[in-house]
Structure 1
């Protein structure tokens, strides 16, 4: 629409310029050009400039809208990828306390009477860990590792000659990763 208006105004400007040129070609002095023609020419020039400015403004607005749309599209795709990548996070978070309880139960003293029960519990725990591993869950390495506040949660500090400074000495609660995201940091003792 703006382009059509610009074309119309440009045509009128050309007509007025042709009239003015024909007058000059006929050896007519500029002050002999009729005042209404000069006024029309000035008015048309103003309309032309206004239409060109409006076109530039609309073009800039279009570019901004296109950039915003591209950014929105990229953000949406990233959100979808993240949702697919971490879709099992809620389930994993719910299962971690049960996994902790399995570990606590397996730490109990095994006797002759409970050996087969413990063996069955170990099989169930392995199946549960295999299922979680297939979904991208892995345990966080702790003992002997350098303390990393991104994946370890230090709850105690001890002094030990056995380990270097800022090294994990003992794991109090296992930590887990889902692909590259920390689901639960490992609770650890750290050497001073």
Structure 2
């Protein structure tokens, strides 16, 4: 019944208008509704694209941060390997230096042995100088306080001439390269 009334009202209002005008008005209404629908679809598409763009920007920023971290780690690894490049060679030379040190402590009783000892001392000094150029130095132990990072205690002593926890004797020299211990000193520590 209501539909009939609505239809009659439309006919009454349309009686004064031409059928072409009614048709054009209907087309305009349809076009307006289509325009609103297209606008809503366009806004939804824009929101979707903006979300994708934000996600891509976030992914880009994370990748950039990861790459910066990788580059920093690579640079630090390269610096570290350059800083400690001689560590392997120095570690291999330490037994030879120890042997030179032991041989030099032996006394010479004749002139020929004395000249041989002087030559060995020159080679020994050259090796120590080469180590020093690379940044390796012997660890001072005797008379110093025991440091487990630098010293390896193999014996204890009860010497009244030294204080408690002081290194009394060094059995094998320790060496440090820049700030890294290559080999700790083997020592005797006072109780």
The interval holding the TM-score normalised by the smaller chain is 0.7 to 0.9
Instruction: Output one character per residue of 1:78-117: Cα deviation in whole Å (capped at 9) or x when no partner.
Output: 1111121111111111110000111111222321252222
Question: How does 1:1-192 map onto structure 2 within 5 Å?
Answer: 34-113=32-111, 114-192=113-191
SS at match of 1:154: strand
**In structure 2, how many angstroms separate the alpha carbons of the residues matched to 1:106 and 1:85?**
31
**In structure 2, how many angstroms separate the alpha carbons of the residues matched to 1:139 and 1:93?**
12
**In structure 2, how many angstroms separate the alpha carbons of the residues matched to 1:99 and 1:109?**
18
SS at match of 1:76: helix
SS at match of 2:110: coil
Instruction: Output one character per residue of 1:4-53: Cα deviation in whole Å (capped at 9) or x when no partner.
Output: xxxxxxxxxxxxxxxxxxxxxxxxxxx99844333322222221111111
Q: Where does structure 1 lack aligned partners over 5 or more consecutive residues?
A: 1-30
User: Post-superposition shift, 1:168?
Assistant: 1.0
**In structure 2, how many angstroms separate the alpha carbons of the residues matched to 1:44 and 1:157?**
86
**In structure 1, how many angstroms separate the alpha carbons of the residues matched to 2:157 and 2:36?**
94
**In structure 2, how many angstroms separate the alpha carbons of the residues matched to 1:111 and 1:87?**
42
Aligned length, in residue pairs: 162
Instruction: Output one character per residue of 1:37-79: Cα deviation in whole Å (capped at 9) or x when no partner.
Output: 3332222222111111111111111111111111111111111
Larger radius of gyration: 2
Structure-2-length-normalised TM-score: 0.78
RMSD of aligned Cα (Å): 1.8
